[in-house]
Copies of this chain bind each other. A is one copy, B any other.
Amino acid sequence: MDTYTTIIAVASIVTSGITIGIGVIGPAIGEGRSVATALSSMAQQPDSSATITRTLFVGLAMIESLAIYCFVVSMILIFANPFWSRALT
């Protein structure tokens, strides 16, 4: 290890954690809101259960994808970091 690789390693570690840490706040609140509304809608209109469930799952998938973006960037920075690879060579 030399100074340059250490700095890149530290930047990668800190960024990977912050990215996923901040990145799940929004999706978590969004999904919580969606699930909550789905439940109250089901209680209000039990006959529409099937449609509501289907739409809910599509919506959750869309919102989950936002968190996945952050997780992907976080994983890339830890396990497939091109700057780190370069620094090691």
Whole-angstrom distance between the Cβ of A61 and the nearest chain B Cβ: 9
Q: How many copies does the complex hold?
A: 14
Contacting pair B1 A5 (CB below 8 A): yes
Query: What size tier do the contact residues of chain A reach?
Result: 35 or more
In the complex with contacts A30-B31, A33-B36, A42-B66 CB distance below 8 A: no
Q: Assuming the A-B contacts A1-B4, A20-B19, A64-B62, are A47 and B48 also in contact, with contact meaning beta carbons closer than 8 angstroms in the complex? A: no
Provide the residues of chain B in CB contact with A22, threshold 8 Å. Answer: 21-22, 25
Task: Compute how far the CA of A52 lies from the CA of B37 in the bound complex, rounded to whole angstroms.
Answer: 11
Q: Give A contacts to B, CB under 8 Å.
A: 1-49, 51-53, 55-60, 62-67, 69-71, 73-74, 76-79, 81-84, 86-88
